[in-house]
Amino acid sequence: MKTANEEQLQQKLSPMNVWALAFGCIIGASAFVLPGTTFLFKGGVLGMIIGIAIAALIMIVIAFNYNYMINEYPIAGGEFTYTQKAFGPNSAYWCSWFLGLSYVCIVPINATALAVIGRNLLGSVFQFGFHYVVAGYDVYLGEVLLAIIALLLFAYLSVRGVKFAGVFQTFLAFSLVGSVLIVASVALLKGSFNIHHLQPVFYPGVSGVSSILAILAISSYAFVGFDTIPQAAEEFKFSPSKSKKIMVLSILLGGFIYVILNTITAAIIPSNYHDWVEYINASKKLSGLESLPTFHAAYQLMGGFGLLCFGVSAVAAALSGIIGFYMASSRLLFSMSREKVIPSWFGDLHSKYKTPHNAILFVMLFSLIAPFFGRIALSWIVDMSSVGAAIGYGFTSAAAFLYARRRGHTFIMATGIIGAIMALIFLVLLLVPIKLFNCSLGVESYSCLIVWIILGIAFYCKTQKYSGK
């Protein structure tokens, strides 16, 4: 019987499958909620567009670094592998500890998004059984069961094989893009994108610079997903060199979808509101469809069919996020096990499907707990996970610089420096409470971060004992 060090994943992913993996992970279900809760509040229309555009360019630069390291090490593990090879096991451990949280917590946040979609589009259909409140959010048994069913189903599909998951992911990605483009096309044909509908361009009382920086601060989370490609590198049935184009395309299309959704949300509001600012401020106290400005905009444009289009897109985004991050997080755990950082149990491959089924099982069990805590409490962890994404970007960029310097590759040396600096800027914006920019983590997310660090120290000591060091 082969050990975790000897086991190999199967090469079954096509370029289209990998693009769908990355894009589906970038555009999760939250993309349909964030315009009315975060993006427009922080950046306004213009701040959002400029911030997303700049963020996309930064992510493309960072993607060059990822592509460089993929070609160096076309194996599962991504950031963990690159950091370990460049800076040693201790740095690799902490990189993967924070990055792992980013990957794992996005699985349940997308699962619980199904309940949010159902709550606001289908009324109280899933609001049955026991009921309690966590951090002001109502948790119902029916909604918990919906999330659990999705988590169980997609864990099973993930175990069934990467090819099956890749094909399904591709279907979801095309469904997402197609539905959004239909609504956007109708909006253009109807002339709904009148410039006057987008006033004010920034949120009142927030400067343009602060607005753009606030969007940049959350971009490490908004674009997390393209970096899942290295996790699947061992399963490519094509040259790793093609990953650069795939990552760039996923980033550009992801940014484009973000801009479309936010612009539609701001441009198309109920007639009884003066502008998008008044509406999104009021939407917090509304219920049903009007509490979701993005969905309400689609309904105003196209009635029930528009709502169906965005409903299909949001569900596809949620499901693609679940299956995509099941894949990414399990491959990260598989790689760590293969390098003996964590127990070999995580590196065990299914005898028939050759997938890291134990790692998938672990992610599933962790995720099954999350729906019981409600969306608000879970969002604290998700917000904190932006730190993990930024750390992953930073270590990968630094590793690319180190390897490029040894080989005299000046272009990657430049992108490596830029990527590392931008990752540091992301961390400063997230962790340092600068009142002028108003984009740092909240108190709850800070608390979650401290707890995660303490757990990381404890687990590190445990793994050191396990490895005999």
* Domain membership of residue 415 as a residue range: 15-466
* Structural domain count of the chain: 1
Q: Tell me what the mean pLDDT of segment 355-365 comes to.
A: 92
**153 or 135, greater pLDDT:** 153
Does residue 189 lie in a domain region? yes
Answer yes or no: is pLDDT of 466 > 80.
Answer: no
Answer yes or no: is pLDDT of 447 > 60.
Answer: yes
Q: What pLDDT shows up at residue 403?
A: 96
Does residue 3 lie in a domain region? no
Answer yes or no: is pLDDT of 440 > 80.
Answer: no
Q: What pLDDT shows up at residue 31?
A: 87
Instruction: Tell me the per-residue pLDDT of 251-309, one tens digit each, with 9 for 90 and over.
Output: 999 999 999 999 999 988 888 888 888 988 888 888 778 888 899 889 888 888 888 88
Instruction: Tell me the per-residue pLDDT of 58-117, one tens digit each, with 9 for 90 and over.
Output: 999 999 999 999 999 988 888 999 999 999 989 999 999 888 888 888 888 888 888 888
Does residue 7 lie in a domain region? no
Give the rounded percent of residues in the chain with a pLDDT score beyond 90. Answer: 30
Which span out of 190-199, 303-312, 365-374, 401-410 was modeled with the highest average pLDDT?
A: 401-410
Does residue 6 lie in a domain region? no
Give the rounded percent of residues in the chain with a pLDDT score beyond 70. Answer: 95
Q: What pLDDT shows up at residue 469?
A: 52
Does residue 398 lie in a domain region? yes
Instruction: Spell out the SS3 assignment of the chain.
Output: CCCCCCCCCCCCECHHHHHHHHHHHHCCHHHHCHHHHHHHHHHHHHHHHHHHHHHHHHHHHHHHHHHHHHHHCCCCCCHHHHHHHHHCHHHHHHHHHHHHHHHHHHHHHHHHHHHHHHHHHCCCCCCCCCEEEECCEEEEHHHHHHHHHHHHHHHHHHHHCHHHHHHHHHHHHHHHHHHHHHHHHHHHHCCCCCHHHHCCCCCCCCCHHHHHHHHHHHHHHHCCCHHHCHHHHHHECCCHHHHHHHHHHHHHHHHHHHHHHHHHHHHCCCCCCCCHHHHHHHHCCCCHHHHCHHHHHHHHHHHHHHHHHHHHHHHHHHHHHHHHHHHHHHHHHHHHHHCCCCCHHHHCCCCCCCCCHHHHHHHHHHHHHHHHHHHHHHHHHHHHHHHHHHHHHHHHHHHHHHHHHHHCCHHHHHHHHHHHHHHHHHHHHHHCCCCCCCCCCCHHHHHHHHHHHHHHHHHHHHHHHHCCC
pTM: 0.89
Answer yes or no: is pLDDT of 340 > 60.
Answer: yes
- Average pLDDT across the chain, whole number: 86
Q: What pLDDT shows up at residue 468?
A: 53
Does residue 8 lie in a domain region? no
Confidence at 337, pLDDT banded by 50, 70, 90: confident
Does residue 274 lie in a domain region? yes
Q: What pLDDT shows up at residue 363?
A: 93
Instruction: Tell me the per-residue pLDDT of 227-256, one tens digit each, with 9 for 90 and over.
Output: 888 888 888 888 888 899 999 999 999 999
Q: What pLDDT shows up at residue 4?
A: 47
Confidence at 2, pLDDT banded by 50, 70, 90: very low
Answer yes or no: is pLDDT of 215 > 90.
Answer: no
Does residue 167 lie in a domain region? yes
CATH number of domain containing 56: 1.20.1740.10
Q: What pLDDT shows up at residue 169?
A: 85
